[in-house]
Amino acid sequence: MPSLLKSKIPIWLQQATATQIKIVDVQVQAIPLKIKLKGIEIQELNGKKLITLDSLLVELRLLRTIMYLTPVLDAVQIKNPVVQVVRNKNGRFNFQDLIPNKADKETPKSTTATPIIIENVSLIAGMVTVDDGFRAEPYAETIENINIELEHFSTKSDDEGQVKLSLDIKSGGHIDWQGSLGLSPINTAGHITADKIGLNKLIAAAMPGNMPIQINGYQHIEADYKLSNDGITVNNGNFDLKDLQIDVKETGKTLLKLPSLAVQGIDVDLNEQTLSVTRTIMTEANLQLDLDAQGWEYYRALMPKTNNTTQQASINKPTKPWKVAVKAAEINKMVVNYNDQRIKNAQAISLQPINFKISEYNNQSGDAPFGLDISLNKSGTIKLNGSINTQAKQVKSNLAIAGIKLGELQAYIAPDVPLQITDGTISLDGVGVIDLNKPEQLELSFKGNTGISNLLIKDADGMKELLKLPELNVRGIDFNLGKQTLGIAAVSSKDANIQAWINQNGEINYQQLLPKQTTETNAQATPINAQNQPWDITVNALNLNNWGVTFQDQTLKKPLAIQVKPIDIKLENYSSKGTQKMPAVINIGINKSGLVTVKGDAVLEPLSAKLAVNAKNIDLEQFQAYFEKFARIDVVDGAVNIDGVLTLDKQPKTKLDIRFKGNTHISNLLTRDQNQHKDLIKWENLSLKNLEFDMLAQRYSAELLEIDSPFIRVTINKDKTANFDEVIIAQHTSKQHSQHQPSQEPPTKLQFKLGKIQINDGSSDFADFSLILPFAAQIKNLEGGASGISSEQKSNVTLDLKGNAYDLSPVDIKGNISPYLGDYHVNLNFSDMPMPLMSPYMVQFAGYKVEKGKLSVGINYKVSHSELSASNNIQIDQFELGEKVENPNAIDLPVKLAVALLKDASGKIKLDVPMSGSTDKPEFSLGSVIADALMNTLSKVITSPFSALNSMAYADKEMSAVGFVSGYAFLDQAQRDKLDALSKALKQKQSLNIEIKGAAFQQQDWPVIREDTLYVQLKKRRALEINKEAETKIREEYVELSEEDYKRLLTDMFIEKFPQLVKKSLFGVPSLIHPEAGEFFTVAKQNLFTIIKPEQERLKELASARAQNIAKYFVKNGGIASERVYILDTVIDPKWQNNAVVSRLSLNADN
């Protein structure tokens, strides 16, 4: 028998395991039956060692086996077993080929286990090596010194044996197990201890794959346990974790250090699903949360992966809730350093220390008091003291937060906002409650206070302050997330300062702080559910004291800074529902001198407000840069004041209506142009009294517009432009903008009414440099105004103004104007205007300065149905022209003559200049109408000067011509009467001179004076005769012809010139060949006349004689001083009308 067993045992083992088994030696003892195998080696298919044993001893008790009909082994002993577990890169284990294929036909299993009794089983000095090459990071471990002792082991029902197990883990750790063990049914109870278990290899084995982190540390676990059909229980368990450290493999950075974590008094009942812990203590843990792009991956590696399907199945499967109770738990001196490197400019947050205590925690009933103290970045503290009631699913705690520096949290609160919170702390105290009774909704409430102190916010570069807030307190907070209510008893703050500006692109600096909206962002935005309950927010009182805003507008050529300080705001009864009245008092200081006060009530829904507004001394000079956008002026002084009631009203589906009733005035306005730096417009006070406007109705009215001491300077430049053309800056409107305006509702018709405009002590300064001589005029003491100004179609404006020009000349303007009907009736009267002051206009108009004179003008304008009918009554007293000034643009008229003609005997000029025209014509210009009318009047005077001498009863044409008998120069009685009348008129106008132009006419005068010419020629013939006979010579003008000599010399000349017409008798007596032609001497003269050509000299002598006779008559008979009488150069055959034989007279005043 022993020999047979010795030969068959290796074969049976090889057949059973389907592998190669080597046995060095087989020892068999018959009584008692003992089988001992030595040098056992079980190989893999490739011949490598899988399992080796030094020896295997089996001792069988035959008698007991026969007695119990069950195999009874006295002992089973295994010495020095070594198991090598290897998994290759393909994930296949080295023992898989030794396991039968499931597809192979299996032997039917018996429903009952074969009973066996073993009195003692021992495994001595065993070892298991593990080599896993399948992992991304190879894993190897050795479990050694494995010792197992099992006594009284039996598979029979209700039999229990005792078991002892101990082993060492080469990488660190020792496990010891002692207890009872029964297999039918399976039950065990005992005590297990795992001491100094190295976490590095343990974690690596539990979490396959290439982990980016390295976990080091040791754990100690011990507990009493019991496992049976009734379940599993653990009692008196303790868990200790020592020197835990988690490092990043790549960088070596430490993520977590945990010197000690102890969980004591652990009792677990899996069947009852209860867990109780006597005490948990964690001390001096240090957690580093330095998150970069991979940061979360490191921490995620610590979390077990879950199967979604399994997880979902477990969620859907109803489970009995566990009962958890913790007598006491503590976290002491914990440190958490958080730095999210994914956020730009994020500062590290250090929570150190963190202390937490909780006691009597039970998730089924009762309150568990807890306390949490956190120090944030050394300066801030967070303290919670409260209780957790898991049965009520409620956490209630007193909360106290103090000294939290907002700047350190900026990157986390607002990472994309370009600003720097350089200082400021926040505090919070109160009672908070978290209620989790509604799984679908978090119930959170808080009652308490909060505050911010010494807040300082700068721009992204840290160069400019945006907000300085020394103090902000919010008291009486009542917040409820579930009910969506927020109540605040009071909000108060003081001494804050806000810096704001508009950059050159027109953007307010705070716009850059808002997140930019993109198409993608808008597309992904969660739509707002219109049915969501709106938040109910109330603030009982808001008090802001001594706030300030410094605003700078950089869009202007010269950046403008406006200081709004102090700002004091008191607001009561604010509600987001907006249905109740909110009393408000607002005081705003503007640029140190101005103050705006607003006081009244407002309602938000529907919007309405009635506010008393009072603005005092708003300094216009401070807004100089804005005025420069529209005009090139310097506002040197001026203040705006407003006092009234402002009403706002916005009903549903209507536009906002703004109404105002009150008074406003601008005092001490002084502006200067930026070219000449002279006063341009100024006044002491401009006030609108009883001003009312309704913007929605487009209705504006005021009882009185009163201006005290207004002044305006108007200047005409050399190029004819006005100073206001240089001052006003043209505003360009975008054509594109105007072309694409959407269609709008027809605008409401504008309605306005101004009871009266009153001007007190007004003045103006007018200068015209476009003239050859610059002109300046001043009007002072202007009083009066206008009334009845209205948008009504039939409105009639009454004008009444009085003033003085040059402090000497009264100015009076009165009239009525119907602006919409186009009808005017205005009277303007200027009295005793010193005309030398108007020399520049006379130079421009006529080319002369004014030496002396006073001007009075009465102008009456009437426009009815677009037709102008006006008269200008002009009176000039003692008018004298001064020196002549060269002006090529002056009128081409004898101005001095006109002046002399227009003056009466007392030196006054009176003119009535009528005007007319149609104002409907596009070319109509009142200035042109006045100039044309004046030119027509002067032209009539100049072209008909003698008509201006209205004291005579002759027409101008009669007075300017003196008639003569043909061939003669004497004055008949009629001409002498005419010259007498003219002399009388000239005596009254001493500045006039008379000019005489003698004239002779060949056709009319030569037939008369040619006989004298014939007579002179006969005298020449007689002088020749005498000079031949006498020694003394004589000139022809001294020769006297007797009748006999005349006829003799005439006969001789006739026969000489016309011999064919004369014959002589035998005795020498001449006679006509044709006697029927007439008497001899008559025929002789007539024929001789035909050969005597007209002599210009003789005609000039006649013309000169006529002029001299007229001049003599003026001097001798008319009494006109000779220096006023001028004889002009004579003229022969002037082209005068009617072929009248006259000499012309003319007037002038140039000498």
In this prediction, residues 800-816 reach a mean pLDDT of: 82
* C-alpha of 683 from chain center: 33
Residue 518 has pLDDT above 70, yes or no: no
* C-alpha of 724 from chain center: 29
What local confidence, expressed as pLDDT, does residue 208 receive?
Answer: 59
Q: Which residue has the higher pLDDT, 34 or 723?
A: 34
Residue 305 has pLDDT above 70, yes or no: no
**SS3 for 1082?**
helix
Question: Would you place residue 528 in the very low, low, confident or very high pLDDT band (cuts 50, 70, 90)?
Answer: very low
Q: Which residue has the higher pLDDT, 1023 or 844?
A: 1023
What local confidence, expressed as pLDDT, does residue 765 receive?
Answer: 83
In this prediction, residues 188-194 reach a mean pLDDT of: 93
What local confidence, expressed as pLDDT, does residue 1070 receive?
Answer: 83
What local confidence, expressed as pLDDT, does residue 953 receive?
Answer: 41
Q: Which residue has the higher pLDDT, 153 or 434?
A: 434
Q: Which residue has the higher pLDDT, 233 or 304?
A: 233
**C-alpha pair distances (Å), 564 with each of 75, 511, 587, 629, 669:** 102, 20, 10, 22, 22
Residue 401 has pLDDT above 80, yes or no: yes
What local confidence, expressed as pLDDT, does residue 776 receive?
Answer: 72
In this prediction, residues 810-816 reach a mean pLDDT of: 85
In this prediction, residues 141-148 reach a mean pLDDT of: 93
What local confidence, expressed as pLDDT, does residue 303 receive?
Answer: 59
Task: Please name which of 361, 346, 419 lies closest in space to residue 395, comparing C-alpha atoms.
Answer: 361
In this prediction, residues 676-697 reach a mean pLDDT of: 88
Question: Would you place residue 155 in the very low, low, confident or very high pLDDT band (cuts 50, 70, 90)?
Answer: confident
Q: Which residue has the higher pLDDT, 162 or 917?
A: 162
Among 274-278, 578-582, 911-915, whose mean pLDDT is lowest? 911-915
Residue 921 has pLDDT above 70, yes or no: no
Residue 83 has pLDDT above 90, yes or no: yes
Question: Would you place residue 543 in the very low, low, confident or very high pLDDT band (cuts 50, 70, 90)?
Answer: very high
What are 167's strand-pairing partners? Answer: 175
Residue 168 has pLDDT above 70, yes or no: yes
Contact 946, 981 (CB under 8 A): no
What local confidence, expressed as pLDDT, does residue 738 receive?
Answer: 47
Contact 386, 360 (CB under 8 A): no
What local confidence, expressed as pLDDT, does residue 370 receive?
Answer: 93
Q: Which pLDDT tens digit goes with each residue over 356-388?
A: 999 988 888 788 999 999 998 878 899 999 998
CA gap 1090, 1052 in Å, rounded? 16
CA gap 681, 620 in Å, rounded? 14
Among 91-105, 690-704, 737-751, whose mean pLDDT is lowest? 737-751
CA gap 863, 845 in Å, rounded? 28
Topology of domain 959-1148, CATH: 60s Ribosomal Protein L30; Chain: A; (3.30.1330)
Residues 6+ apart with CB under 8 A from 653: none
What are 62's strand-pairing partners? Answer: none
CB atoms under 10 Å from CB of 665, counted, come to 19
Percent of the chain with pLDDT over 70: 86
Q: Which residues of 546-583 are buried (b: 16+ CB within 10 A; e: fewer)?
A: ebbeeebbbbeeeebebbbbebbbebbbbbeeeeebbe
What local confidence, expressed as pLDDT, does residue 520 receive?
Answer: 47
Residue 896 has pLDDT above 80, yes or no: no
Among all chains, which residue has been given the structure tokens 């004497």?
970
Contact 438, 409 (CB under 8 A): no
Residue 444 has pLDDT above 70, yes or no: yes
Contact 787, 816 (CB under 8 A): no
In this prediction, residues 962-979 reach a mean pLDDT of: 91
**SS3 for 253?**
coil
Q: Alpha-carbon dihedral of residues 375, 376, 380, 381, nearest 10 degrees?
A: -40
What local confidence, expressed as pLDDT, does residue 529 receive?
Answer: 47
CB atoms under 10 Å from CB of 97, counted, come to 14
Q: Which pLDDT tens digit goes with each residue over 455-484?
A: 998 887 888 888 899 999 999 999 998 888
Name the phi and psi angles at 991, rounded to 5. -80, -5
Contact 65, 71 (CB under 8 A): yes
What local confidence, expressed as pLDDT, does residue 525 receive?
Answer: 46
Question: Would you place residue 1138 in the very low, low, confident or very high pLDDT band (cuts 50, 70, 90)?
Answer: confident
In this prediction, residues 262-266 reach a mean pLDDT of: 94
Percent of the chain with pLDDT over 90: 25
Name the phi and psi angles at 899, rounded to 5. -60, -45
Q: Which pLDDT tens digit goes with each residue over 109-138?
A: 555 556 788 889 999 999 999 988 887 777
Domain boundary assignment for the chain: 23-97+114-210, 213-307, 771-943, 959-1148
- 697 sits in the region (left: phi over 0; alpha: psi -120 to 50; else beta) called alpha
Q: Which pLDDT tens digit goes with each residue over 631-668?
A: 888 888 988 999 999 998 888 888 888 999 999 999 99
In this prediction, residues 930-952 reach a mean pLDDT of: 64
- What tokens appear for 811 in the block? 């100015």
CA gap 1086, 911 in Å, rounded? 60
Q: What is the mean pLDDT of the chain?
A: 82
Q: Before 566, cis peptide (omega within 30)? A: yes
